Chain A
Amino acid sequence: MKQQIELRVNGQVYEIETEPWRTLLEVLRDRLNLTGTKVSCAEGHCGACTVNIDGEAVNSCLTLAIEAQGKEVLTIEGLSEGGDLHPIQETFVTHGAVQCGFCTPGLIMASKAFLEHNPAPSDEKIKKVLAGHLCRCTGYVQIIEAVKAAAELMGAR
């Protein structure tokens, strides 16, 4: 029994038909072809599926698509503006924070929500805020460095 819903994603409006039990993650990937947000554990333990809803970082695998109605959803695809990388995307590239890249979109979206309200975060704060994100490749250090560098860049701009 599908439902007609309207979603605002990355500033665009989408009208789709979906079963009410579909998660936002499934709808973003399978219906809107926004595959930047990843499926990994699909139960909120790895952070790979993180998007922003009304500026807050949430696991899209734990959010029903219908619950995102009337809200602003921002995914990794919506972060760069007109081909220019967002500072967080830039510093992830320049600081070695990307290896296999699978955890990257989720981490960047979490960092975005965080840095908007935390312009000068400490290492400890960064670790705590991002603790819901697993990365098997980097060992986290270069990610923390990238986030701090992004904070500085964002402050400077």
Chain B
Amino acid sequence: MDINEIVIISGKGGTGKTTLVSSMVPFLKDVVIADCDVDAPDLNILFGNEIREEEDFVGLQRAQINDDMCMKCGQCYDKCKFDAISEDIVLDTGKCEGCGVCEYVCPVNAIEMKDFVIGKIFVSDTKYGDMVHARLIPGEEASGKLVAQVRKKAKEIAILKGAKNIIIDGSPGIACNVISSVTGVNQVIIVIEPTLSGLHDLKKVHEMVKRFRLSEYIVINKYDMSKVELQKIEDYCEKEKLKIILKIPFNKKLVEAITKKTIPSLYDSEFFKDIGFEKFLLSLK
């Protein structure tokens, strides 16, 4: 079962990742979609999906203090390295990192580690294929675990339905949730804009991605924003032997499409033809 997994990330947010992912989907055969941008899941807005499954997502266990048994000895307050327990022994679950030290040191067993729901995973039907997406409860740890769970579910569905592709919308940044989106995929597309910050962020993301042995491609969005910055990016890509696989000029209609909650490549298909979208998709095969 050779399922091609491709992830689109951006390092910096707002470069057009979701615009690109959504535009690619109608052209990918037998595809399962995974929205791994779990603290800002947006793909569902464009796909008019119907949720058919939903399940609670449990992260790391968190501490729970039984006030009736608590002797206020202060051991837990003393040993908690995350400041999750106050001096008067009140637990801030938001700060609790689930290490279990408090449970271990409590002399009267007044603390127990319990399952804690930090989000939800959804499976939806869309016109183009199944979509797995998730929502983290705001403020919770952007766990790589939730991303891993979304991907696992997407893989299960892909295998079950004999899908050929899994396309993953990743999150901004370079930390655990992004690492989790990238592990084990075949191809990574990094979407950037030609700005000073864009180049800076590209360098960091590339540093992270190149540790994984997979095919890496660059897509430059709004490339006509700055000739100077575009040149810098092209120079950098040449130096690092990075392939720039697509360049998209600024087009107000793309925002229009998103505002109308339609897929950009279907809304302004002329534009996508002009920029060589077909060739881009072919070169990914």
Q: Do A and B come from one complex?
A: no
- The residues of B with any CB-CB pair to A shorter than 8 Å are none
